Structure 1
Amino acid sequence: MQLSFTLDTIKEAAATFWQQLGDRKVVALHGQMGAGKTTFVHALCDAKGVTSTVGSPTFSIINEYAYPGGQLYHIDLYRLKDEEEAIRTGVEDCLYSGSICFVEWPERAEGIFPDDTLKLHISATGPETRLLLIDEK
């Protein structure tokens, strides 16, 4: 599946994504720096009913948010070196917690992800347009 969106249509894209997620809990977000990964996760949190302020987990590594149906994690592996460091910081615990997890820069620790992780690719197709590709495998 693919979705094209702008900041004006990101809410609709987030709603469509939630319909596609199904029972999967872990989403690996791939994309260049500045592609819009964090912005899209923010829209996903809004669509899920998260009421607290959603921020970038670049420095905290893991941000946890409550929504009416449970908890979700927004994880950023950019500053981590490898799988071992991800495990030490508690990333693996989040991935297997049964809660929804959105992980930026998943290539830093690919070996610790569940087999059914949904792979999402975000790319800039223009100054204000993004393309979201969902790997359904």
Structure 2
Amino acid sequence: MSSDQIAIVVDDRTYEVNKNKLIEKSDYFRALYNSGMRESTEDSVQLQGLSVTGLELVLEFINTSKVQVVNETLEDLIETASFLQVTSILKLLTSEIRLDNCVELYSLSEVYGTHDLRTACLKYMSCYYHPMLRRPEFS
């Protein structure tokens, strides 16, 4: 593996990733590699408690600046983006709020402490109050 690549290990999966892109997009990796701690010199990082799905979505964003936002993977995406402190994903999600995901995004923003996403969801709900009340979540 070249010196500008690192391996990220989640569960039994290993992903080779450009170290500079990680540092640029993730406050977690920026802090890790600028800390001077032992981990900052290793060529692999083991991440515990994250889903493979969430990591793959975040790595897709880190590599392409795009991410596929679908309701089935919202929690994985938000959990991983929050943990790795990829704030640009969380900002992107504020523009992805729709009737079919607003309640879930709001709930996840509460769980993971993403204040800007929570505020955006509340604003969306107030703008689309009547259509929101017709959603099954409010029946």
- TM norm. shorter chain > 0.5: no
Pick the structure with more helix per residue. 2
What's the TM-score once normalised by structure 1's chain length? Answer: 0.27
